[in-house]
Amino acid sequence: MSLLLGDTAPDFDAETTEGNISFHDWIGDDWVVFFSHPADFTPVCTTEIGYTAKLKDKLAARGAKAIVISADSLEDHKAWIKDVEETQGAKVEFPLIADPDKKIATLYNMIHPNADAKVTVRAVYVIDPKKKIRASIIYPPSAGRNFDEILRLIDSLQLTDGYKVATPVNWQDGEDVIIVPSVSNEDADKMFPKGYKTIKPYLRTTAQPNK
């Protein structure tokens, strides 16, 4: 199954380290970072889980939360969490999904046989409160992810949902943004009272409107 941006994230029931869940019910009214790991007790994954645990408050400030999946058992997950907490100095307070039969991983296209048929790739899905897939990132099993970039991505998505703007290259929260080309100058005058700079007719920048 190929999942595209704007698709509804497939629902599923799963056993997790925080009890059984129905995914859509678990999402509730939050944004979700749903990401996969090739396997438990692996070094890169251990650092990623630990870093994500440290982001709990930053995710919560954005109305977001994390959930993890790997094709290992619930018992392995629980044992691995102890290793993560010991080595990374962070308490893991989000669920890890047990998926030993790889049904959920297959549903979310996390199995790439030409890369490695035995493990999931490092997939990340950002899902909004309407259960829509808003972003997806796929890394090979060997490359650790940049979770600060995922926070930046959520900031951009939430900002651009509320205003007719886009975020430029390497944008960080608080920096100037781009007015989308579909907004006329006349409308821009009304919508962006702080003013804007016209670099080219199609490239107009303005202060971040929610700051």
Residues with Cβ within 8 Å of residue 82, at least 6 apart in sequence: none
176: three-class secondary structure by DSSP: coil
Question: In the CATH hierarchy, which top-level class contains the domain 163-206?
Answer: alpha beta
Q: Could you read off the pLDDT of 50-80 as tens digits, one per residue?
A: 999 999 999 999 999 999 999 899 999 999 9
Residue 2: phi, psi to the nearest 5? -105, 120
Residues with Cβ within 8 Å of residue 70, at least 6 apart in sequence: 36, 37, 38, 39, 40, 45, 77, 96, 97, 99, 120
* Active-site pick, 9, 32, 45, 126: 45
85 sits in which H/E element:
helix 74-88
Q: Could you read off the pLDDT of 87-104 as tens digits, one per residue?
A: 999 999 999 999 999 999
17 part of the active site: no
Q: Where are the domains of the chain?
A: 13-145, 163-206
Tell me what the mean pLDDT of segment 155-175 comes to.
Answer: 98
Residues with Cβ within 8 Å of residue 17, at least 6 apart in sequence: 74, 77, 78, 81, 92, 95, 96, 98
Is residue 66 a contact partner of residue 35, using CB atoms and an 8 Å limit? yes
The pLDDT score that the predictor gives to residue 112 is 80
Write out the two tokens for 55: 């982001």
Torsion of CA 41, 45, 51, 54, to 10 degrees: -50
Tell me if 13-145 shares its fold with 163-206. no
CATH topology of domain 13-145: Glutaredoxin (3.40.30)
Predicted structure pTM score:
0.94
